[in-house]
Chain A
Amino acid sequence: MLEIEIDGKQTQVPAGSTIMDAAQLVGAYIPHFCYHKKLSISANCRMCLVQVEKAPKPLPACATPVTNGMKVFTHSELAVNAQKGVMEFLLINHPLDCPICDQGGECQLQDLAVGYGGSEARYREDKRVVFQKNVGPLISMQEMSRCIHCTRCVRFGQEIAGVMELGMANRNMHSEIQTFVGRTVDSELSGNMIDLCPVGALTSKPFRYKARSWELSRRKSVSPHDSLGTNLYVQVKNNRVMRVLPRENEDVNECWISDRDRFSYEALNCSDRLLKPMVRVDGSLREVDWSVALDYVAHGLKDVARTHGGNAIASLASPSSTLEELYLLQKLTRGLGSGCVDFRPRRRDFATDAKMVGAPWLGLRLSEIKELDAAVVVGSVLRKDHPLFAQRLRQLARKSGKVSLISVTGDDPLINLNARITVAPSQLPFALAAVVKAVAALKGIETLDELENVQPDAASVSIAESLLADGKKAVFLGNLAEQHPSASTIHVLANELGRLSGAVVGFIGEGANCVGGHLAGALPSSGNAYDMFVEPRKAYILLGVEPELDCHNPGMASAALKQASLVVMLTPFKSQAMLDTADVLLPVAAFTETSGTFVSAEGRIQSVAGVCQTPGDARPAWKVLRVLGNLLDFGGFDQESSEAVRNEIVGNPGEFAGGLDNSVAGVSVRLEAAQMDLQRISDVPIYFADSLVRRANSLQETRDSVSPTARVSAGTLKSLGIADSSLTRVVQSSGETVLSIAVDNAVPFGCVQISAAHASTSMLGDMFGAIKMESA
């Protein structure tokens, strides 16, 4: 520890600390722009100059290492003169028109100028003009004359997002922040640069000029999009969500949020909102009162149960539903005598259901990721499925952790990987088995009999070695591993890998309540999310799902719904598909409009309040389900609040849920390579992943939202004998469509990648498995 005195206050800091670190410890504020605790130090703004005893010149606090016995003066005449001098330089070329700047009221330059700026400008020359740039639908670079060249945005790209999309071109006062010529900013974390930018140079395109910061009320919330439990501030004006910002939580999202978390709010105000209950009368949907609609549903469900038995009713919920909704839905379904309820619409293999000891989870806390020495991710489009989880692994790899990836395309995770294995989906269990085998061989111990014929290659040995080194290790299973037709085999193999190597095994988890759904018991006792469409039911209750986009086999799901006699949808939105298939549409609250709870991948229980009212006649889904329970005369539907519902399921918000365990007993590994000429790889593009984000206009204009293609390698295309590489007809199960071909050798041979979750592919079959591709 080093002794340091700042403005007369003594403190001790660890070696390697800077004056800025020490100042923060003693609560001394040193003005700064370029410094940011999560970014590397660049020391370019010079705003943090302070006086250091014995130093002839003022020194930048952010970059000056503390030496023992150092005495620092942050407000001495020398320091303040230096700070004021820098402030004058920052302002000479700055357009001093805060009243018309979108950042006004929340601008660090404006704030500091009050303390350090002069009252009159000595600069009387022409000001610099920097041309605007168009870098895509999310970030506005309309006002680049306001840039103070702090390079926070540049360093964010290089260090946090893993891709340098903005850089400072030119030199001297003509230095400009820009993209590579003609490029847009496409990172899934790009919006954080808006927060980092201390001035009004980078602003939010969707929010720009919509409101002033002081008009907005700031409400706490949690992101519904992925399993991280990202903490948010939702900013509201006149009962309308105007924007979403990160709520710092070092243990969860640090100070970041993904663009999906940030910009999905636009969907709340879209024209697709369902505002009134609707019931199909004589073949067409009519708007009705709630009482009519709920009576209709209660009677309809009772009828089906009476005539066809309880199991003729199936319920399916989105994994982004709240814990309370999932709980009441399964209770209602079971009350009707059905065990057919699920919240995992994209799952295919359910062999581990009822064979698990507890609820599947991440296996460790998010904050423990940085302590890992090695991590292996299996079956994940990391960046797109879990942008901030990927960010944590990126930082781990930047430090010294070894991160390896076993997956089905060669796409760049922007993580400095130790090793990677890219195989066709049908080979994924084999690839994992090879790593298990390699670990067993290296340790000279036995492993599962089923792996007898598996031969490890160099990459699997390299991954095995990383898992056998000393320290903390983890094996993470991604969304794709859970959606995989051999998900249970992958799970058991991962557990075996964990057993042999001492690595923690965890599921990254799909959806905000990937763990919560298990705790709520929204799991089938008969008829899972796939089987409920294989054997079509008479009645379906759908909560927040759009089956043609959210199900593992959308073609099959749509067909099953078509034949059902009663389809009830609880949904914040309406779509043509819903209008075509639903018998009853019940408008429910969207994200931000209802209170509820999410239990994230790491088991963190987080409850949110509704931050604005529901539009039209929409009601929180938990209340709708509760009323339905009452109408059906079921006991246990008398909760006064969502908190009362939650208390029946888990502990208090802020705590970690119990009962989490990834062990499986009695499920065997099945390694059999299905012979397929061509197999499909499905991904769920980041901005198609759930009903909310699909309707967020600006996100829909990004490059991540281009329509799905048939993405194949040149070799595959050649082997298929397709000469014209523009359009192709793809045929799977009973569905077919024409897609344009994208030749990309990142896709393994014998595979075609066709994204799920999009209308243009919703007639196709399983996410994985055989598919045909022919000349269009």
Chain B
Amino acid sequence: MTILGAIQPMLTSGLDGDNAWRLEHYLKRGGYSALKKVLAEKISPDEIIGEVKKSGLRGRGGAGFPTGLKWSFMPRDYQGNKYVVCNSDEGEPGTFKDRDILRYNPHSVIEGMAIAGYAMGASCGYNYIHGEIWEIYKRFEEALDEARSAGLLGANILGSGFDFDLFAHHGYGAYICGEETALLESIEGKKGQPRYKPPFPANFGLYGKPTTINNTETFASIPWIVNLGGDAFLNAGKPNNGGTKIFSISGHVNKPGNYEIPLGTPFSTLLEMAGGMRGGRRLKACIPGGSSSPVVPGDVMMQCTMDYDSIAKAGSMLGSGAVIIIDETVCMVKALERLSYFYYEESCGQCTPCREGTSWLYKIVHRIENGNGREDDLELLESITGNIMGRTICALGDAAALPVQSFVKHFRDEFIYHIEQKKCLVPVDIQRAGSGFFSALS
């Protein structure tokens, strides 16, 4: 991972060498000092939640919900088990940060979850790990063993009287299991399908008990906040957008990868860090927050800073922080076809608008791409997305509709060209030139 100059990186600092993930190395870097501090100083749960609120930390899983506020929803005087659950399902196309956090810095997540458990009165946690990154699941299990043997997990942690155990659970790769309530169903051994909300997990979560679900990166940010204070975290970013964040950059850049930068950093700086546009080509468009976020035209994107508010102003979402860079060699119809296929495939099939609507969207975009578009197709696409959005059980419906709406809105001419001329506006040889596959051949 690459780090930006002036600000101290929070999640990725000191990760040098093959053993950086081990407990020993983490301890040397000052790891578990936050947990130790909380337990030794008996910091009150309210104080911790207050600090997290102050930090401006917003959920890194996609929705950007303020973490401190979410924690405060957990019932206080509840008799019985409560749970904290970490969402490491990371299935959003373009997103590949959580697996690296677990690969290189697993103890930061364990520490963050233990503190969360302490703050919310939960003595049990689960980390739900994507099913197709098996070696990372195994590594996390090893890290758990290390923490347990060191008395950092389990009963009576460090003699404090606080019990917290943590278990890894792996999925089988269904995107929908990243949706928090589908994830809970899956942990319970059921088919991973989202639940209707309300009730929300804070009242009726895992096994019907109060539960808080956060993203891997969200938990990994907690030790830093506890160590250095909410204000310091907030100041590392910008107001309402506290802290640093890892961006997963993919697509047509020279150095794709994960980059931790302070929120509020100009997009252009991030692009530079990633080595700039491949082949010096023009930035045509950017999907700034994972495949569910609306596409933003290149020129608009160049004006943005990388934080929740700025991207929202540009009509999109910071989401999970997966930045997909698209250059001028790309046919936007083809790009949308691929995205729509993904959502059609991954719809859990439970609710009508998403089950039926996502397949319909895909079939239409597929037709257009293959020269069978009809005059009224764009209008139909817009109408169908309108009938999906806001009418489904979970946000996958919206996630499927938003790319369609934004692609058609910003690149309408390409769609119309396709429908009328039965071929791509971007000439095929240019598309080939931009494809890694074809350039490798020549």
Spell out A's residues near B (CB within 8 Å).
Answer: 41-47, 49, 56-58, 60, 63, 65, 82, 85-86, 88-90, 92-93, 122-123, 125-126, 148-149, 151, 167-168, 170-175
Whole-angstrom distance between the alpha carbons of A60 and B197 in the complex?
A: 11
- Taking a contact as CB atoms under 8 Å apart, the answer to whether B393 and A92 are in contact is no
Chain B residue with Cβ nearest A42: B196
B198 contacts A82, C-beta separation under 8 Å: no
**Is B300 on the interface with A (CB-CB < 8 A)?**
no
List of B residues within 8 angstroms of A42 by Cβ: 196, 350
The residue of chain B having its C-beta at the shortest distance from the C-beta of A122 within the complex is: B380
A90-B356, A123-B360 as given contacts; A57 in contact with B390, CB under 8 Å: yes
Across the interface, which residues of B come within 8 angstroms of A148, CB to CB?
Answer: 352
Task: Verify B352–A86 contact, CB threshold 8 A.
Answer: yes
In the complex, B434 has a CB within 8 A of chain A: no
The interface residues of chain B lying within 8 Å CB-to-CB of A82 are 387, 391
Contacts A43-B196, A88-B387, A89-B356 hold; do A168 and B351 have CB atoms under 8 A apart?
Answer: no
The closest CB in chain B to the CB of A49 belongs to B391
Q: Is the CB of A92 within 8 A of B191?
A: no
A-B CB proximity, top 5 nearest: A175-B349, A85-B387, A57-B390, A89-B356, A43-B196
Query: Within 8 Å of chain A (Cβ to Cβ): is B392?
Result: yes
A168, B352: Cβ atoms closer than 8 Å: no
Q: Does B12 contact A (CB under 8 A)?
A: no
Given A58-B390, A86-B391, A122-B380, A172 and B358 contact (CB-CB distance below 8 Å): yes
B311 within 8 A of A: no
Which of the listed residues A46, A89, A170 has the most CB atoms from chain B within 10 Å of its own CB?
A89
Question: Do B360 and A85 touch across chains, with their CB atoms under 8 A apart?
Answer: no
Known pairs A172-B347, A173-B359; list 17 more (Cβ under 8 Å). Answer: A42-B350, A44-B352, A46-B392, A57-B390, A60-B196, A82-B387, A82-B391, A85-B353, A85-B387, A85-B391, A86-B353, A167-B191, A172-B346, A172-B359, A173-B344, A174-B349, A175-B349
- Using Cβ atoms and an 8 Å threshold, which residues of chain A touch B380? 122
Chain B, range 326-351, C-beta contacts under 8 Å to A: 344-351
CA distance A670 to B367 in the complex (A): 83
The distance in angstroms between the C-alpha atoms of A46 and B391, with both chains bound, is 7
A346 to B24, CA, bound (A): 77
Contact indicator B393/A43 (Cβ below 8 Å): yes
Q: Specify which chain B residues have a CB less than 8 angstroms from the CB of A43 in the assembled complex.
A: 196, 351, 393
Say yes or no for B363: interface residue by CB 8 A criterion: yes
Chain B residues whose CB sits within 8 angstroms of the CB of A175 once the complex forms: 348-350, 355
Whether B196 contacts A171 by the Cβ 8 Å rule is no
Flag whether B176 is at the interface (Cβ < 8 A): yes
Min CB distance A615 to B, Å, is 48
Give the chain A neighbours of B391 by CB distance below 8 A: 46, 49, 57-58, 82, 85-86
User: What would 22 A/B residue contacts be, using CB atoms closer than 8 Å?
Assistant: A41-B196, A57-B391, A60-B196, A82-B391, A85-B386, A88-B387, A89-B352, A89-B353, A89-B356, A122-B380, A125-B363, A126-B363, A148-B352, A171-B174, A171-B347, A171-B348, A172-B348, A172-B359, A173-B344, A173-B355, A174-B349, A175-B355
CA separation between A171 and B367, bound complex, in Å? 23
CB distance from A435 to the nearest CB of B (A): 32
CB of B357 within 8 Å of the partner chain: yes
Q: Across the two chains, which residue of chain A brings its CB closest to B197?
A: A63
Residues of A within 8 A of B353 (CB): 46, 85-86, 89
Contact B390 A173 (CB under 8 A): no
Q: Give Cα A167–Cα B193 distance, bound, in whole angstroms.
A: 13
Tell me if B356 and A93 are in contact (CB < 8 A): yes
B174 CB contacts on chain A under 8 angstroms: 171
Q: In the bound complex, how far is the Cα of B381 from the Cα of A122, in angstroms?
A: 11
- Which residue of chain A lies nearest to B348 when distances are taken between CB atoms in the complex? A171
Residues of B that sit less than 8 Å from A by CB: 174, 176, 191, 196, 198, 344-353, 355-360, 363-364, 367, 380, 383, 386-387, 390-393
With the chains together, A89 CA to B355 CA distance in Å?
9
Taking the nearest CB of chain B, how far is it from the CB of A11, in angstroms?
22
CA distance A343 to B350 in the complex (A): 52
* Complex CA distance for A46 and B367, rounded to whole angstroms: 28
Partner of B349, one of A49, A58, A92, A168: A168
Which B residue sits closest to A85, measured CB to CB? B387
Give the Cβ gap from B389 to chain A, nearest Cβ, in Å: 8
A126 to B349, CA, bound (A): 18
What separation, in Å, do the CA atoms of A46 and B356 have in the docked complex?
Answer: 12
Bound together, the chains give a CA A123 to CA B356 distance in angstroms of 11
Distance of A173 Cα from B350 Cα, bound (Å): 9
The answer to whether B390 touches A45, judged by C-beta atoms less than 8 angstroms apart, is: no
Residues in A neighbouring B392, C-beta threshold 8 A: 46
Q: Give the distance in Å from the alpha carbon of A49 to the alpha carbon of B387 in the complex.
A: 12
A572 CA / B359 CA spacing, docked (Å): 57
Report Cα–Cα, A123/B352, bound state, in Å: 15
Q: Give the residue name and chain of the B residue nearest to A173 (CB).
A: B359
Of chain B, the residue at the smallest CB distance from A43 is B196
Distance A136 CA – B131 CA, assembled complex (angstroms): 36
With a cutoff of 8 Å between Cβ atoms, the chain A residues found around residue B367 in the complex are 125
Task: Tell me whether B196 and A149 are in contact (CB under 8 A).
Answer: no
Q: How far is the CB of A563 from chain B (nearest CB, A)?
A: 63
B87 to chain A, nearest CB (A): 19
The CA of A46 and the CA of B387, in the complex, are separated in Å by 11
In the bound complex, CA of A32 to CA of B12 (Å): 51
CA distance A174 to B358 in the complex (A): 12
Shortest B370–chain A CB gap in Å is 12
Q: Are B352 and A56 neighbours in the complex by a CB distance under 8 Å? A: no
Partner of B356, one of A57, A92, A171: A92
CA distance A18 to B356 in the complex (A): 26
With a cutoff of 8 Å between Cβ atoms, the chain A residues found around residue B348 in the complex are 171-172, 175
Smallest CB–CB gap between B326 and chain A, Å?
26
Asked if B347 contacts A45 (CB within 8 A), the reply is no
Residues in A whose Cβ lies below 8 Å from that of B359:
172-173
Residue numbers in B under 8 Å from A167 (CB-CB): 191
A740 to B198, CA, bound (A): 55
B352 x A170 contact (CB < 8 A): no
B380 nearest CB neighbor, chain A only: A122
A57 to B401, CA, bound (A): 15
Query: How far apart are A28's CB and chain B's nearest CB, in angstroms?
Result: 20
Q: Which residues does chain A contribute within 8 Å of B345, judged by CB atoms?
A: 172
A490 to B19, CA, bound (A): 72
Which residue of A41, A46, A58, A125 is within 8 Å of B352 (Cβ)?
Answer: A46
Nearest A-chain residue to B355, judged by Cβ:
A173
Closest-by-CB residue of B relative to A174 is: B349
Question: Smallest Cβ distance from B393 to chain A, in angstroms?
Answer: 6
A65 to B383, CA, bound (A): 29
A771 to B176, CA, bound (A): 59
Tell which of A92, A126, A151, A172 has the most Cβ of chain B within 10 Å: A172
Q: From A64, which residue of chain B is reached at the shortest CB distance?
A: B198
- Please indicate which of the listed interface residues B198, B348, B364 has the most CB atoms of chain A within 10 Å of its own CB: B348
Query: In the complex, which residue of chain A has the Cβ closest to the Cβ of B356?
Result: A89
Question: How far is A476 from B20 in the complex, measured between Cα atoms in Å?
Answer: 67
Q: Are A149 and B350 in contact (CB under 8 A)?
A: yes
User: Which residues on A sit within 8 Å (CB–CB) of B351?
Assistant: 43-46
